[in-house]
Amino acid sequence: MSGPDAPEEILWQGGPTWRAWAVRWIAGWVLLPVLVGLFLLVPVWMRTRSKRWKLTSKRVEVESGLLSKRIDTLELWRIRDIEFRQSLVDRMAGVSSIVITAHDPAQPVIEVRCSPGDRAVYDRLMSALMIARQQRGVMNLSP
Domains and CATH numbers, the chain: 10-15+52-136 (2.30.29.30)
Average pLDDT for residues 26-30, to the nearest whole number?
Answer: 74
Which residue pairs from 18-25 have beta carbons closer than 8 angstroms and sit at least 24 positions apart in sequence?
Answer: 18/44, 18/48, 19/93, 19/94, 19/95, 19/114, 20/90, 20/93, 20/95, 20/113, 20/114, 21/47, 22/89, 22/92, 22/93, 23/89
Q: What pLDDT digit, counting tens, does each position of 47-96 carry?
A: 888 889 899 999 999 999 988 999 999 999 999 999 999 999 888 888 89
Please indicate, yes or no, whether the overall pTM of this predicted structure exceeds 0.75.
no
Q: How many residues does the chain have?
A: 143
Instruction: Tell me the pLDDT tens digit for each residue of 92-127.
Output: 888 899 999 998 787 789 998 877 888 999 999 999
- Confidence band (pLDDT; 50, 70, 90) for 45? confident
Tell me: pLDDT of 16 over 90: no
Q: How far apart are CA 132 and CA 138, in angstroms?
A: 8
